[in-house]
Amino acid sequence: MDIKNIKKEIIKAGESAVLQLIKVAKEDIIKYDKDDELAADRLKNAAATKKLCIMDAFEIIKKIQEEKDLLEGIDTKINNTPKGFAESRSK
């Protein structure tokens, strides 16, 4: 199996992983019960897990798009090198 096919398989796996993360993010957060001493901690952990799923999904799809662009030969890198005062004034 060549590198190009391996990358395509990794991209497919990444897309599948994103779909699974979306499912987790869509699930209801546990219901808060004020009589339960651990409910607040569980609610906090559930919210943190959802945030992590969402951030991971965005990170994965960003990397997937970069890899797809590389496979297609598209250069998406834009030169956004910050310039200092002198560089911005020179011609």
Report the interhelical angle of 39-72 vs 3-26 (nearest 10°). 150
User: Confidence band (pLDDT; 50, 70, 90) for 59?
Assistant: very high
Tally of residues, the chain = 91
- Write out pLDDT tens, residues 27-55: 887 766 667 777 778 888 888 999 999 99
Does this model's pTM top 0.85? My answer is no
Q: What is the model's pLDDT at position 12?
A: 96
- DSSP assignment, residue 77? -
